[in-house]
Structure formats: structure tokens, C-alpha cells
Amino acid sequence: MRDKRVGNPNPNPERDAPRDSDYYEQKLQAELRSNQSIRESIYPLSTRTLIIRSRSRQKFSPLKIIMTDSKSPEKEALYKLVIAAYNYSFYDKSAAISSVDVFCSAVPRFIDWLNETEIDNRYDVLKNYEAYHFDLFDNHGGSSALLSIKTIFTHALDRSIELYEYLTSEELRYLHDLRKTRVSPNLNKSHKSLATYFGGIDWLRRSDVGIGSDLYSILASPKLTVQSLSLSASNIILELYKSKLELHNFSKLFDFKVSEFTLPKDLSHTKKGSLLDSYYIKLFHFITNQ
């Protein structure tokens, strides 16, 4: 699939030449000094300074993200991922409206930390940032900062074409490996048991508007509820098995052969539908000729 942003019917070598981050920063600062409206630009992956205009209507207060450590190959790969996520979030028409807010809330702090941290184990980068964030806000066991960071990974790795055009296979492999980092569970999130849930809707005990006290007692008991679900699942599996045997016997009765079926090269449910149609036709003729 071709990126619609790439390609120009009237190429201009001087205009279309790649620019470095200093060029874009000077351009934005010049517009600010001349009181012109600030125009955001799609940044090349080599950019190491992002200037994002304020979403407020009150005044211009740009958000500036600077990536400073270009000597680390791991940081370089992450910097490129951030730029790709920025281009997707701000300029891709298919991007969710919330993607801009996720980027602006998650990336600045992550980049500030990444610029200063020393990477000992390249595969522990995200876990180290998660631990740093827990310490910073004294929020151990709470919501993890990796939830939003992994959303940034999704925007770049699953939505960006340019990332796969400009990164090396080693960089891409590293980013995909980092993406597998497990997010720590939120231990502070409240959990309700079945007994607690049904205890909050005790009107179900009533026979006139509810299900009666006997059925209510069964539902409110986790053990009985699980047993009921297990019996239901067992009955469903048994009925499916009986249906399978009936189809098998029916096929043997009419000596079905694979060569008699021309299945479409399509999705599996379409193939199943075509097969069932053939069965129905055979069965119809069988019943009609009885």
C-alpha cells in the first residue's frame, strides 16, 4: 500500500530535499516571531526536535520534545518510533482523535527519561521506565505508564509505513521485541466477586420482579454458578458431537466424495456455508424421493 503523502506530480529538488530538525525549528520560530499561524509539519525520522503547537485557543505555548542521545542505537530506534507515532497521530486521517492526546501526555516524560538514562539491558528499557514512573508518583501497584507507551508502539509499528521504509531490520526486530514487554497489573483496581455483585442487587430475591430466593441463592454462590456453567458447556459439547455424528452418517449414506465439492477460495465461513448448501440439497432430494 502506497503512502499518499509520498510522491509529488511537480517535483522540486530544492523544495523536496530532506531537512534536518534545525530547519523545522527555525521555521516555526520565524512564524512565531512574525505572529503567523503555526503550521505543523510531518517530520522526517531523522528529526531530533519536535515542536507541537498548543491545542488551546488562548495563546501559543508550544510543546517542545528534544531527543539528545544519538550515540545509543537503542535510543535512536526509539526516537524514530516516536517520530513515526507523531506523524501518524497528527496527520493520518484514519488516526483516532484520542491518539494526539495519548502522544502529548505520554511521550514528553518518556523522552526526558530516555535522554538521561543509561541502558544496561536493552530489553529492560520499558520495564525500567515503568519502575521509574511508579517511583516518581509513588504509585506502586497502580496504573502502569506502559499502557500509553505501548499504545505509541502500536501507532508506529502497526500504522506507520515510513518506519518500515527507513529502519534497519535489526532496529525493527528490537522494537518488536520491546513491544512484548509485560505491563504490571493494576493491584489497586477494585475487584468484585459474584457474591458481592449479586449482594448489591438483592431485589432479585423477590418473586414478583426478580427470580425468587432459590435461584438467587444459586447465582450468589460462586461454586454453584461455576457448576452450572460447567454443566451447560458439557451439554453444548454433547449436542455438537451428536450433530457431528449425524453429518458423518449422512455423508456415508450418500457416499460423499471430496471431488464433488467445488469450494470457493474465500474465508472459512464462506466455505462452510457452501458445504452446508450441498448437504441441504442432497437431503432435500433424499426426502423428496422417499
For 238-268, write each residue's pLDDT tens digit: 999 998 888 788 777 777 665 655 555 555 5
Residues 108-113 have a mean pLDDT of 96
Residues 43-63 have a mean pLDDT of 75
Confirm whether pTM is higher than 0.75. Answer: no
- Cell matching residue 233: 458447556
- 16: confidence class by pLDDT, cuts 50, 70, 90: very low
As to burial, measured by CB atoms within 10 angstroms (0-12 exposed, 13-18 middle, 19+ buried), residue 53 is: middle
- pLDDT above 70 covers a percentage of the chain that reads 63
In DSSP terms, 50 is beta-bridged to 65
The amino acid occupying position 87 is: N
Residues 18-45 have a mean pLDDT of 61
For residues 274 and 252, give the distance between their C-alpha atoms in angstroms, rounded to a whole number. Answer: 19
Lowest average pLDDT, out of 14-18, 89-93, 200-204, goes to: 14-18
